[in-house]
Amino acid sequence: MDLNLSGRRALVTGGGKGIGAAVARELAAMGAEVVINFRADRESAESVAAEIPGATLQQADVGDPAQVAELFAGSGPFDVVVNNAGILRDRLLLRMSAEDWDQVLRTDLSAAFHVTKAAVPQMMRSRWGRIVNVTSIVGLGGNPGQANYAAAKAGLVGLTKSVAKELGTRGITCNAVAPGYVRTELTNSSLSEEMLKELVRLTPLRREGTASEIAAAVAFLCSPAASFITGEVLVVDGGLSA
Ligand code: NAD
């Protein structure tokens, strides 16, 4: 199986910690030259980059199209793009502010549009490209308290399938990975221990996933081996949503 990405440049948004950091490690192990984007936590991004030979860092808020343009001017072009940056602002619908809604849509959905749009012209010229969007099983099934996040992640599925259909003839694939529960800063801040135990109880594999298990699926979809897969949503959740 061809997993070789040598000679390819890869961008991982929000790659300074959690799942994105695991993706950056995996893509680098496959030979890609990796650019790790981060927004605010420079220290964490620097320590991840320090472990990865050849990795470079690029600060940008990918929810802002002007900063995405600067990111591409400074570090682009890319053959592989992983739209991983994400935030939560969980609230029940009646307590959710318009700002909670807008911030999540901006980071978890619009950012993928800005980054994909910036990446595609070069991918079209080279007639090869891999785009992977990190969605969530919440985008497929919804979740109380996460209307904003579920809408953004469902939107990513629509974006993924549309981009796949638009750009297939150009040698570009676009897929999504939908993780179940993985313990990271993101989930630590939003789920109680009790909720986590219940999630594990409902998971056929009876455990949490790891960032590297999500990264393995993302990396496969970025590889030459996945050349006939596009418009797909690969669920990686230990069977939780089966
Ligand atoms: P995390 O909080 O550890 O990492 C998210 C990263 O995104 C952070 O590095 C953060 O700084 C970055 N980020 C946030 N806003 C940004 C912006 N505007 N510009 C650039 N970077 C930004 O969380 P994680 O769990 O590793 O999540 C990674 C992705 O996986 C997210 O899209 C998340 O929704 C998705 N996901 C996570 C889980 C889980 O259980 N952890 C489940 C399903 C989906």
pLDDT digits (tens, 9 = 90+) for 17-46: 999 999 999 999 999 999 999 999 999 999
Rounded distance from Cα 169 to ligand 1 centre (Å): 31
Mutate to test the pocket of ligand 1, among 11, 13, 19, 148 (most ligand atoms within 8 A of CB): 19
What pLDDT does residue 193 have?
87
Nearest to 15 by CA among 87, 82, 73: 82
Ligand 1 centre distance from Cα of residue 125 (Å): 30
Mean residue pLDDT across the chain: 97
Asked whether the beta carbons of 34 and 54 are under 8 A apart, the reply is yes
Instruction: Dump strand ranges (E) for the chain.
Output: 9-12, 33-38, 56-59, 80-83, 129-134, 172-179, 233-236
pLDDT for 187 equals 84
Quick one: pLDDT at residue 177? Answer: 99
Confidence of residue 107 (pLDDT cuts 50, 70, 90): very high
Rounded distance between C-alpha atoms, residue 123 and residue 128, angstroms:
5
Task: Flag whether pLDDT at 189 surpasses 80.
Answer: no
Pocket lining: 101 vs ligand 1, CB cutoff 6 Å: no
Give the whole-angstrom CA distance, residue 87 versus residue 100.
Answer: 10
Tens digits of residue pLDDT in 52-103: 999 999 999 999 999 999 999 999 999 999 999 999 999 999 999 999 999 9
Residue 195 is predicted with a pLDDT of 87
With 80 as the cut, is the pLDDT of residue 163 above it? yes
* pLDDT at 128 (0 to 100): 98
Test site for ligand 1: of 37, 184, 208, 210, most ligand atoms within 8 A of the Cβ? 184
Distance, in Å, from the CA atom of 105 to the CA atom of 108, rounded to the nearest integer, reads 5
Q: Where are the domains of the chain?
A: 9-182+210-234
Given the residues 101, 149, 181, 220, select the one marked as catalytic.
Answer: 149
Helix, strand or coil for residue 61?
Answer: coil
Atom in ligand 1 nearest the alpha carbon of residue 44: 9
The count of other CB atoms within 10 Å of the CB of residue 26 is 27
Does the Cβ of 64 fall within 6 Å of ligand 1? no
The architecture CATH gives domain 9-182+210-234: 3-Layer(aba) Sandwich (3.40)
Nearest atom (ligand 1) to Cα of 211: 26
Q: Over the stretch 217-242, which tens digit does the pLDDT of each residue have?
A: 999 999 999 999 999 999 999 999 99
Query: Rounded to whole angstroms, what are the CA distances from 23 to 4, 34, 39, 210?
Result: 15, 10, 17, 12
Widest pairwise Cα distance in the chain: 51
Alpha carbon dihedral 123, 60, 164, 228, in 10-degree steps, equals 70
Q: Is the CB of 87 under 6 A from ligand 1?
A: yes
